[in-house]
Each structure stands twice: as C-alpha cells, then as structure tokens.
C-alpha cells in the first residue's frame, strides 16, 4: 500500500536544492589541502541551515506530517508519507 502524496512549494524545494548544492560544495572543499577547511565549514553551516529551514517550512505548511515517516523526492517535487506498519501484536508504530 502506498502512502499519501503531497506537492511541496517552490520556495521549499529551492531550500532543499541549496542544501544538496552546499553539501557537494562542502565535500569539494574538504578535498583541498590548504584553504578548504574554512570554506567547508561555511558550506556545511549553510547546508544544515537550509535543511532545517526546509523541514520547518514543511511542517508549517503541512502540520499533520509532524512525527510521520516521510520521503521527499526533489526531482519530482513530491513528498510521500510512508504507510503505518503493523507489528505482530497488531499495534501501529
């Protein structure tokens, strides 16, 4: 069974794209021997800030998603809520 699907606003999508770009940039800076440490730290900070801003904005837009297991695909711009799994005792997680 597939979960419910949501479309994310362009503003939030841009935040996640910035996150991916800053993570790649951070990884490139880490490979530099001498001058990469400070730039890598700045890129890591920007990546984390954009990731946190994305999730904060998402929960403001869709408060019912709080505490749910979700997947976000940037290319399709779709957010999918994973269905609740039942345990052997029949209780929901």
For 27-68, the pLDDT digits (tens) are 999 888 777 888 999 999 999 999 999 999 999 999 999 988
Residue 20 has pLDDT above 90, yes or no: yes
Q: For residue 12, which of 57, 61, 44, 73 has the smallest C-alpha distance?
A: 57
Assess contact for 18 and 46: CB atoms under 8 A. Answer: yes
Read off the pLDDT band of 88 (50, 70, 90). Answer: low
Task: Give the pLDDT band of residue 1 (cuts 50, 70, 90).
Answer: very low
Total-model pTM: 0.78
**Do 54 and 12 meet the contact criterion of CB atoms below 8 Å apart?**
yes
Query: What is the distance between the alpha carbons of residues 32 and 35, in angstroms, rounded to a whole number?
Result: 6
Q: In what order do the strands lie in the sheet with 78-81?
A: 5-7, 78-81, 70-73
């Amino acid at each position: 069974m597939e979960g419910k699907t949501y479309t994310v606003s362009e503003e939030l999508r841009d935040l996640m794209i910035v996150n991916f770009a800053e993570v790649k940039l951070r990884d490139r800076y880490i490979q530099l021997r001498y001058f990469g440490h400070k730039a890598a730290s700045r890129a890591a900070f920007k990546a984390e800030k954009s990731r946190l801003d994305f999730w904060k904005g998402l929960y403001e837009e869709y408060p019912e998603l709080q505490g749910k297991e979700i997947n976000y695909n940037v290319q399709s711009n779709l957010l999918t809520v994973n269905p609740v799994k039942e345990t052997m005792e029949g209780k929901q997680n």
